[in-house]
Amino acid sequence: MATCWPEPIVSVQSLSQTGVPTVPNRYVKPAHQRPVFNTTQSDAEMEIPVLDMDDVWGKPEGLRLVRSACEEWGFFQMVNHGVNHSLMESVRGAWREFFELPLDEKRKYANSPDTYEGYGSRLGVVKDAKLDWSDYFFLNYLPSSIRSPSKWPSQPPKIRELIEEYGEEVKKLCERLTETLSESLGLEPNHLMKALGGEDKVGASLRTNYYPKCPQPHLTLGLSSHSDPGGITILLPDEKVAGLQVRRCDGWITVKSVPNALIVNIGDQIQILSNGIYKSVEHQVIVNSGMERVSLAFFYNPRSDIPIGPIEELVTENRPALYKPIRFDEYRSLIRQKGPCGKNQVDSLLLSR
């Protein structure tokens, strides 16, 4: 893996703060990738499913709702998810304060492409790639053996504690969701967790995304189209500013987040494990000229050193194995080289028949 970036890193936030009137060429996407803002009336009415988790946990009807959301959308919003609302607000607020610190302070945490841990502004090491209009901070959370709070921001003062507290709650939520996903696939409640490598061996990381204001939002993207490489993603969106778009047929649906909801989406590893029954759906982020946007993506991943392939019980004569097994560390390193690339990575594992 490359140990340094192919070009000097430019913080998009500081670029935005200089008041550039136009988007520099390296952020201008080719015409076919540029975002579409004006959705038709029918698109505008379409929404990803919103599930009240009180109607889901332990309820047969809830399993059906989860199944249909994961088969059809790969995304849903959760309300009554059990994560403390004021904690959500505090951790997001602390990250916002971190990004408001002077560049020199943030630069102390500058990351490199070998682990991605720290403060960064690009995904992928492809030279001359078109870049996304965002900065981020990436950190490892699980397994706890690789958690190193000393690499996390030390300012604002409470941020490390808040990250730990939030991480703990979201981890529990992911464990519960893993059981529910397992049952919704017709498996024993603990089957999926075992396939992921077991509760004490799974991985998790947190990426806080910062999308600065952009002078020409129609020319670029905050985050290019991708599916999440891992297992399950729990997204805490900005409380005020929309931006996440989810692929629906040939178009994109802009998510209108429900107050205090968390957004869950299926990653490539669950698509593989479920033998394609559940979909990791492409998504992207649009930016705007008026407001910056902050989001926290918690990635819940399989143990990284075991092959992940379709679960045997989900392989049948009518539905032969669709994907060839791959270890998550290998899968992730491919993504880390290429950066966001739609669904190309998971599609490359398709077995030809």
> Strand ranges (DSSP E) for 13-162?
50-52, 75-79, 118-120, 135-142
Question: How far is residue 10's CA from residue 310's CA, in Å, rounded to a whole number?
Answer: 40
Total count of residues recorded for the chain: 353
Tell me the site size for ligand OGA, rule CB under 6 A.
12
Between residues 196 and 235, which has the closer beta carbon with respect to ligand OGA? 235
Q: Which stretch binds ligand OGA (CB under 6 A): 57-65, 235-243, 303-311, 312-320?
A: 235-243
Token pair listed for 288: 């705007």
Pick from 295, 301, 304, 345 the residue near ligand OGA by CB under 6 A.
295
Pick from 234, 297, 314, 321 the residue near ligand OGA by CB under 6 A.
297
285 interacts with ligand OGA by CB under 6 A? yes
- Residue 242 CB: number of other CB atoms within 10 A? 16
Between residues 95 and 179, which has the closer beta carbon with respect to ligand OGA? 95
268 interacts with Ni ion by CB under 5 A? no
Between residues 98 and 298, which has the closer beta carbon with respect to Ni ion? 298
CB 323 within 8 A of CB 72: no
SS (H, E, C) 334-351: HHHHHCCCECHHHHCCEC
Question: How far is residue 63's CA from residue 183's CA, in Å, rounded to a whole number?
Answer: 7
Q: How far is the CB of 352 from ligand OGA (least distance, A)?
A: 29
Q: Which stretch binds Ni ion (CB under 5 A): 40-48, 75-83, 227-235, 240-248?
A: 227-235
Between residues 183 and 228, which has the closer beta carbon with respect to Ni ion? 228
Between residues 258 and 315, which has the closer beta carbon with respect to ligand OGA? 258
Q: How far is the CB of 61 from ligand OGA (least distance, A)?
A: 29
At 194 the three-state DSSP class reads helix
Q: How far is the CB of 222 from ligand OGA (least distance, A)?
A: 7
What values do phi and psi take at 119, rounded to 5?
Answer: -90, 130
228 interacts with Ni ion by CB under 5 A? yes
Stretch 188-227 residues interacting with ligand OGA (CB under 6 A): 207, 209, 223
SS (H, E, C) 96-134: HHHHHCCHHHHHCCECCCCCCCEEECCCCCCCCCCCCCC
Question: How far is residue 49's CA from residue 323's CA, in Å, rounded to a whole number?
Answer: 27
What residue 285 binds from Ni ion, ligand OGA, none (CB within 5 to 8 A, per partner kind)? ligand OGA
Q: Which residues bind ligand OGA (CB under 6 A)?
A: 207, 209, 223, 228, 235, 237, 243-244, 283, 285, 295, 297
